[in-house]
């Protein structure tokens, strides 16, 4: 049945856009399996693409051919969100081994500010001491004791730290100061994790190097957010685009909604910004009828089996999928 759908006219008129986030350097996939996968699984996925003779094409080329009706059979495009350092150290070497083109939706604030991403790093640090209850926390403005036994209670602590830092309009350096203190409080070696660039983005030099090697860098907002106010929203696009232009020397016109969050009013603002395509995290294959500013993707995680992954490549997955719309914000799973 897979083969019949895979080689059908229906599938030939569709582009499957794959979405990845981080590739673990250590144990990040155990912390957030929906965000990170171990390099071995990515390697397996790319091997499936190669062995199944799927046509992995660049995103821009794929979208153009989708529009003209000239897609090769079994077309797939590969995208990575955020542009973490682990793309440089883990994902890119694998993609190069297979010779597959790739698009990275690069957010730029943290690539200029070389510190770990605040909210994610706090969550990761707390997870490292999961199962414990610590008689500390008041120094950081969170309730004491800190209950690290469930993901939900750890998430509450992260929310408190994030909301506190927003209320006080803390700078990046001040937020990083909190992360450093949190690590010390938890007895975790902050310097070792930051030396390894865990939960950090690629630097401008690394982005420039990969762009020279053929990696396509596109828009994901400067600060990984989509304000509901038009001028602020458009500033996010402009700042992101200008910074990428300085680094890679070309103008980015493809966009990916941070965290998969989109609203009806964003579409007109994106058109004004000359953005030609925008991808969501909703599951599906794109056809010529799909709004180019609401392109579905398959968010591939280590929770998916190889069989499920293949079913999506062939097109059956989209027929069988029950939940197609992505949750719009992170909700910790019940323990």
81 is an interface residue for Zn ion by CB under 5 A: yes
Minimum CB separation of residue 260 from Zn ion in Å reads: 8
For residues 108 and 168, the answer to whether their CB atoms sit within 8 Å is no
Tell me which residues in 100-159 interact with Zn ion (CB under 5 A): none
Using CB under 5 A as the binding rule, whether residue 236 contacts Zn ion is answered as: no
Least distance CB 83 / Zn ion (angstroms): 9
Residue 82 lies near Zn ion (rule: CB under 5 A): yes
**Shortest-Cβ-distance residue relative to Zn ion:** 81
Tell me how far, at minimum, the Cβ of 255 lies from Zn ion, in Å.
11
> How near is the Cβ of 103 to Zn ion at its closest, in Å?
13
C-alpha 164/C-alpha 155 separation (Å) is 14
Two structure tokens written together for 90:
């883990």
- The span of 74-82, 123-131, 173-181, 263-271 binding Zn ion (CB under 5 A) equals 74-82
Closer to Zn ion by CB, 194 or 226: give it: 226
Q: How many CA atoms, within 13 angstroms, populate the side-chain half-sphere of residue 200?
A: 22
The only residue of 22, 83, 116, 258 in contact with Zn ion, by rule CB under 5 A: 258
- Residue 18 or 146 having the CB closest to Zn ion: 18
Number of CB atoms found within 10 A of residue 38's CB: 19
Distances in whole angstroms, Cα of residue 193 to Cα of each of 203, 217, 231, 257: 17, 26, 37, 28
Cβ closer to Zn ion: 106 or 194? 106
What is the Cα–Cα distance from 169 to 213, expressed in whole angstroms? 39
Number of residues that bind Zn ion (CB under 5 A): 3
Q: Which stretch binds Zn ion (CB under 5 A): 6-14, 53-61, 79-87, 269-277?
A: 79-87
* Helices assigned H by DSSP within 87-226: 92-98, 109-112, 118-128, 151-167, 172-186, 190-195, 204-212
Report the candidate in 277, 254, 239 with the shortest Cα–Cα distance to residue 108: 239
Q: CB within 8 A of 178, min separation 6: which ones? A: 118, 122, 140, 161, 165, 170
Q: Identify which of residues 19 and 41 has a Cβ nearer to Zn ion in the complex.
A: 19
- Site residues (CB under 5 A) for Zn ion? 81-82, 258
């Amino acid at each position: 049945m897979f083969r019949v759908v895979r080689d059908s006219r229906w599938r030939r008129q569709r582009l499957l856009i794959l979405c990845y986030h981080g590739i673990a350097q250590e144990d990040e996939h155990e912390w957030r399996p929906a965000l990170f996968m171990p390099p071995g699984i990515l390697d397996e996925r790319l091997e499936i693409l190669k062995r199944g003779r799927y046509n992995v094409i660049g995103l821009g080329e794929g979208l153009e051919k989708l529009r003209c009706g000239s897609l090769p059979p079994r077309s797939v495009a590969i995208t990575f969100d955020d542009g973490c350092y682990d793309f440089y150290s883990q994902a890119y070497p694998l993609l190069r081994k297979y010779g597959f083109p790739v698009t990275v939706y690069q957010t730029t604030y943290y690539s200029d500010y070389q510190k770990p991403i605040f909210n994610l790093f706090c969550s990761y640090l707390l997870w490292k001491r999961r199962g414990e209850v610590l008689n500390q926390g008041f120094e950081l403005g969170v309730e004491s004791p800190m209950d690290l036994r469930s993901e939900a209670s750890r998430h509450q602590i992260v929310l408190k730290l994030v909301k506190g830092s927003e209320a006080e309009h803390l700078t990046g350096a001040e937020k990083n100061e909190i992360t450093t203190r949190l690590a010390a409080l938890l007895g975790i070696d902050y310097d070792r994790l930051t030396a390894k660039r865990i939960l950090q983005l690629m630097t401008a030099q690394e982005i420039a190097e990969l762009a020279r090697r053929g990696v396509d860098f596109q828009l994901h907002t400067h600060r990984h957010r989509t304000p509901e106010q038009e001028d602020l929203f458009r500033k996010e696009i402009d700042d992101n685009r200008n910074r990428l232009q300085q680094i890679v020397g070309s103008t980015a016109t493809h966009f990916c909604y941070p965290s998969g969050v989109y609203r009806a009013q964003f579409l007109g603002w994106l058109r004004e910004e000359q953005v030609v395509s925008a991808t969501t995290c909703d599951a599906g294959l794109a056809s010529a009828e799909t709004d180019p500013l609401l392109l579905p993707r398959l968010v591939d995680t280590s929770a998916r089996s190889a069989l499920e992954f293949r079913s999506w490549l062939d097109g059956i997955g989209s027929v069988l999928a029950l939940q197609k719309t992505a949750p719009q914000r992170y909700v910790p799973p019940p323990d």
